[in-house]
Structure 1
Amino acid sequence: MCSRYEAPSSQRLLEAFQVAPDEPTQTELWPTYVGPFLRAPSDEGVNHDARAYEALSGIFGLLPFWAKDTKLARRTYNARSETAAEKNSFRGAWKSSQHCIIPAVAIYEPDWRSGKAVPTRISRADGGLMSIAGLWDRWTGPAGEDVYSFSMLTINADDHPLMRNYHRPDDEKRMVVILPNGAINDWLRAPPEQSMEFMLQYPADRLVAEARPSKR
């Protein structure tokens, strides 16, 4: 499960996707922090000249309409793909195909093989941005404002050559769903009944891992 990641700068988002959020975002992300996410344009199907993606800023941790405050995001930053359709926090977004991608320069996971948690930075071997499959939602804040939020989808990684090395020894191994570049558009526009088809492990040989000290 991923609770810390590096988001790209607006400039790098523009270079990779030709869009970036209008609102400021943070680059060192923990649950409840604000980062960028991309979804299919809201005017798609009406405006044939619409951009391929719409970039928004949102809270890292999904906030469904019934959330009392943003503290819920501390528990909803990851969504188990196997149960997202049933879990109260995620089922609305899953059943409505509120798909998004969370762009990331790198994610961090704890390596417990030494007996202590060693923060490890994991990134794409080719230096490209990770496109993490996620769900987004819209929540109404105390002043009536729209607050966007997102969660990273995860799958089992017990047999993944790289990601099985992280988290506590007795815990189930999990990993976020990193989409190949060619699957991004299909994911953003997929209907609910096709969502599970995208829940696949990213190849280990396309990732690199490096132990890093925690900055927190």
Structure 2
Amino acid sequence: MCGRFSLKNSRDEVEAALGALIPDDFPPRYNIAPTQPILIVMPSETVRPVGSNRPDRAGHLVRWGFVPSWVKDPNARAPIFNIRSETAAEKNSFKAALSHRRVLVPASGFYEWRRNGSNRAQPYWIRPRHGGVIAFGALMETWSGADGSQIDTAGILTTGANEALSLIHHRMPVVVVPEDYARWMDCKHYLPREVADIMQPAPDDLFEAIPVSDLVNKVSNTSPDVQLPVSADLTATATRPKKAGKKTGADDDSGNGQLSMF
């Protein structure tokens, strides 16, 4: 699951990592939550001149929380911040986006909460072991109102956790590796079944999990302090949260451990 993440790398670092044109500078963000604006990368709508070195991918800001195009009132239901990759191709809400609007969400890492049978859940800051920018696989949808208004939205795809992170949670975001960026976003030439292999758990050695304080539980806490390490016991048996209801905004079986803290 991915209910919070961070993007603290610079614009230049994001541009270099994803080969995309990012139009504006942005400040480091340490505690990004659903319904907030997030940066996505998608194929550029501008035709690149022959011989040009200009990137053919561009960054855009959208709202984190996928809203299917057929929804009449986007405020009447919880936006979907996570989308279960295993069933996305089968669900009316997502299958068109999976076929036509696959995008990337650049990140410095994400947060996950581990339960051990008590009422308290221990948050972890999960980041690439060697630093740098990672990219989550995501789906984009533009909701259009009867009055002509539009809202660009996106949801992050999830998959089963790899063995290392399963000690914390049984789901994790889909991580797209650089060699698969082009294939993932090329919806003209690659059908959903031809990118299914991308939607797999990340290698066990990609991430390191750092226990942090419960400062991250509050959306209003946006300083670097939310990533300061604390001591925690990973030997205690983790418990799986109860299945989420429809109002949680997660289209998977990951429970609402994060949302209960918003």
Q: Please classify the TM superposition score into its range, dividing by the shorter chain length.
A: 0.7 to 0.9
**Residue 195 to residue 15, structure 1, CA distance change in 2 (3 Å):** closer
Equivalence for 1:170 = none
Residue in structure 2 matched with residue 69 of structure 1 by the alignment: 74
| Alpha-carbon distance between aligned partners in 2 of 1:21 and 1:139, rounded to the nearest angstrom | 23
CA contact (8 A) 1:32 1:70 kept: no
1:82 matched residue in structure 2 = 86
Q: CA, structure 1 residues 4+141, in 2 after alignment: closer, same or farther (shift >3 Å)?
A: farther
User: In the aligned structure 1, how far is the partner of 2:117 from the partner of 2:26?
Assistant: 38
Q: Is 1:113 paired with 2:110?
A: no
Q: What is the TM-score when the length of structure 1 is the normalising length?
A: 0.83
Q: Do residues 192 (structure 1) and 189 (structure 2) align?
A: no
Stretch moving more, 134-143 or 98-107:
134-143
**What is the count of residue pairs matched by the alignment?**
206
Superposed counterparts of 1:1-216, under 5 Å? 1-8=1-8, 9-16=10-17, 17-22=19-24, 27=29, 28-43=31-46, 47-48=49-50, 49=52, 51-67=55-71, 68-70=73-75, 72=77, 74-96=78-100, 98-113=101-116, 115=118, 116-140=120-144, 144-157=148-161, 160-167=162-169, 173-189=170-186, 190-213=190-213, 214-215=215-216, 216=218
Percent of residue pairs bearing the same amino acid type:
25
Using the alignment, how far apart are the partners of 2:94 and 2:183 within structure 1?
Answer: 20
User: How big is the shift at 1:121?
Assistant: 0.5
User: Unpaired segments of 5 or more residues in structure 1?
Assistant: 168-172
Whether the aligned pair in 2 keeps the contact of 1:154 and 1:175 (CA below 8 Å) is: yes
SS of 2:185 mapped into structure 1: helix
- Distance across 1 between alignment mates of 2:21 and 2:44: 11
Q: Which amino acid aligns with 1:118?
A: Q
Query: Quick one: structure 1 residues 47 and 150, their matched pair in 2 at CA, closer, same or farther if it must change by over 3 Å?
Result: farther
Task: Structure 2: state its 5+ residue gaps.
Answer: 219-262
**Separation (CA, whole Å) in 1 of partners of 2:211 and 2:179:** 30
Q: 1:185 to 1:40 in 2, by over 3 A?
A: same
Distance 2:42 2:69 in 1: 19
The one-letter code sitting in structure 1 at the alignment partner of 2:14 is L
SS in 2 for 1:187: helix
Does structure 2 conserve the Cα–Cα contact (< 8 Å) formed by 1:25 and 1:36? no
Q: Which moved more, 1:185-194 or 1:76-85?
A: 185-194
Kindly tell me: are residues 26 and 145 of structure 1, through their superposed partners in 2, closer, same or farther at Cα, counting changes over 3 Å? farther
Deviation at residue 20 of structure 1 after TM alignment: 1.6
The Cα offsets for residues 114-166 of structure 1, whole Å up to 9 and x where unpaired, read as 73311100011110111111111112257634321111111122xx2222122
Which residue number in structure 1 is paired with residue 228 of structure 2? Answer: none
